[in-house]
Structure 1
Amino acid sequence: MEDLHVVGVESGLEFIRQRLEEGWVLVIGEEDCIKEMKKQVAPPYSSYNRDMIFITIGNKKRVVRVYLARKTERLKKFLYRDAEQTDLFSKTLMVEAVRRWESCVYDSVIREDIPSDVKEGSADTEEAIEKILDMVRRWVEDE
């Protein structure tokens, strides 16, 4: 997994915007679950390592780590893995702005800070990206 060091809020949001426009997904969940996901989807020292990125963004008061994943067949298989791993899956959430997979479960976790129209896929791409960026901005600015 590629690590981008601490960057300012606006440059971090612009980086996230670019990835979302390219069809990447924002990954939300517990750190341990995301690490397990990384191990299966983008193992270190493999050609898949660049399929997940985390970027640390913030200001003088607070920094947050944001995870992004490229939509790949490995990610799709991870999302559809067998029932034995549903506990791990229930602790992660994928948020996408560009809908390219016709049937994929992203919303196994309902989080209050994800706008409902983004969760339900009713927002257009640009609107969805703006809502996702606003959500990330709130994470950084929340004290």
Structure 2
Amino acid sequence: MRMLAAWGAVVVALVGGGTAVAVGEPEADLAYHGAASLAGELADVRFTPRNHGPAAVPDATVRLRWSEPLVNEQTLPQGCARSEERVVLCRVGALAADGVGERVAMRVRLRGVPSEVLLEIDTVWGGGTVDRNRENDRQRVLVLDSGDEYYF
């Protein structure tokens, strides 16, 4: 009976938005900081991944989601690929504990000419590590069509 109660607590935690972590899973703290700009139909974004540790990350993937759809043909940096109409996934690779990764920079072409675009960035895969501090690996940036850079 105790076993069922324990499993019930895990299910409640997961459904309620909590994070269940198995014993022995390495913990890392990924973060992304950079800048984005919008001029007409062109959105530029650049960011640098960082791992605050305590464990190294063997490999990681970040998702960039725009509120406006992208045109079908894009020239993306190596390690990046479209996964949906408004989404690009980028492999940021391995990150040492308390290490900084390679800067990612791209220009995407949006359909139409929006006056603003919301860019959301978050980790979709951390190579088997657990990130209990999701505040700094999830970024939301409202970018106005001004050509100005908006930092995150």
**Structure 1 or 2: larger helix share?**
1
Output the TM-score relative to the length of structure 1.
Answer: 0.24
Q: Which has more radius of gyration?
A: 2
**Structure 1 or 2: larger strand share?**
2
Output the TM-score relative to the length of structure 2.
Answer: 0.23
